[in-house]
Each structure stands twice: as C-alpha cells, then as structure tokens.
Amino acid sequence: MTAQAQRPALVLDTNVVLDMWLFGDAAAKPLIDGVPQGHWRWLATPPMREELVRVLSYPQIVKSLAHHQMSSQTVLDPFDTHAEMVVVAPKARVTCKDPDDQKFVDLAVAYRATLLSKDHAVLCMAKRLLALGVNAGAALILIAK
C-alpha cells in the first residue's frame, strides 16, 4: 500500500472549503495547516470544483472576497493544489435530502472517507453513514479524534 493510500481520506463540502480558504475560520485551522502538509488525502471530483466555482460567484461570497481583498482564484488555487481529483463515485445506498450534497456523500461512501460538512442535510445522516464506514460531521469534531 502506498503512503498516499495510507493517509486518512477526507471529503470536504463546499462550506468547509470556504471556511478554510476564504474565511480563515479558526475552527478550520487544523485543516488549513494539515491539508497542505499532507496529513490527509483530500478527495474531490470535477463536479465539486464546479460547485465551488458557482458558489464563488454568489453575490454574498463576492462581497466577502472583496472584503478580504481576495479573488475567487485565491480560493480555487489551494483546491487545485491540494485536492486529489478522482472520478465521480457511483450513487451510494443512502440518499441525502439535499441533492446538491449527494455527490459528497457518494464520494465519502465510495472511499470510506471522513466527510466534513456543516450542512444539516448531511449531518442528520451521520448514523446511516457510519454504518457504511463513513464518519460524517462538523470539521472540528471529526478531525480532533
């Protein structure tokens, strides 16, 4: 087994990515520090990147970018540098109430990765996901384990 495959796999939803690379949220500091150092294998798919691009164009996010004197590329650069792009995972046996979050659930289940999310639609699935080998929860709770 390669060293890359031995690192714990993470799937990060879009809000967590924004907390890390746009807002610099203190709760995301372990991720902000650990992802570039390779502590985890951050898995993503092209549709996840497309969602991030779309969200970065939302008016409230554009205002936040301007407030922090950042461009959308400032957020996309660490995604492109640190996320390991993989193929879209098949539909998991569980369905998320929010169709936009299903891609994160599917990928986490396919890789038995930890799914870091702040979305209620994902968090309420935690017990069902755990039965499939996926820890799902808010970033601070899961990476502190």
Provide the whole-model pTM.
Answer: 0.90
**DSSP H or E run through 28:** none
Mean pLDDT of 2-9: 72
Instruction: Please check the confidence at residue 139 and state whether its pLDDT lies above 90.
Output: no
Domain ranges of the chain: 3-140
| Predicted confidence (pLDDT) per residue in 14-25, tens digit | 999 999 999 998
Q: How many C-beta atoms surround the C-beta of residue 91 within 10 A?
A: 13
Higher confidence at residue 71 or residue 118?
Answer: 71
| Predicted confidence (pLDDT) per residue in 87-122, tens digit | 999 999 999 999 999 999 999 999 999 999 999 999
**pLDDT score recorded for residue 138:** 80
Position 64 confidence tier, pLDDT thresholds 50, 70, 90? very high
Q: Which regions of the chain does DSSP assign to beta strands (E)?
A: 9-12, 41-44, 84-85, 114-116, 136-137
* Architecture of domain 3-140 in this structure: 3-Layer(aba) Sandwich (3.40)
